[in-house]
Structure 1
Amino acid sequence: MRVVKSISFNKADPYENKMISHFKQYPNFSNYVKRLIQKDMEGIATPFKQDMKTDENDNLMEMMI
């Protein structure tokens, strides 16, 4: 079973455009994000907490069985 979550980036936003340039150096984006989540769970990285409200879309996880 897999859970698929999508993320979007706004190319018009200079900060988000810098993020796009940064993650392009990693050939496996999914692995890169999973490692960031792992570091956060271990307390190595601190998540951005300004808008941590649950989004409607967060409840609509796509599950592949």
Structure 2
Amino acid sequence: MFLAEEAAKTTSNFDPFDLFIIAFTVIVLIGFLRLLKAPEKNKFAIGFGGVSLLVFLFLDYLMIKNWLGLL
């Protein structure tokens, strides 16, 4: 009985909210690239976008690692 319960708990680590995290990462990446290509550079916006992009990329890394069962 305990083995069946453990097997049922580990069947899926996917959460539908993960799709939103991936979508937000893509949106932040597009915004960051547009900021870098802009003729007039806004250093604060580039820094904020860069930090945001790093945070979301780290979240994606942890999320995919969780999908694979490595966390």
Regarding TM over 0.5, the answer is no
Superposition TM-score, scaled by structure 2 size: 0.24
Normalized per residue, which structure has more strand?
1
Structure with greater helix percent = 2
Structure with max Cα Rg: 2
User: Looking at both structures, which has the greater relative contact order when contacts are Cα pairs under 8 Å and sequence separation is at least 6?
Assistant: 1
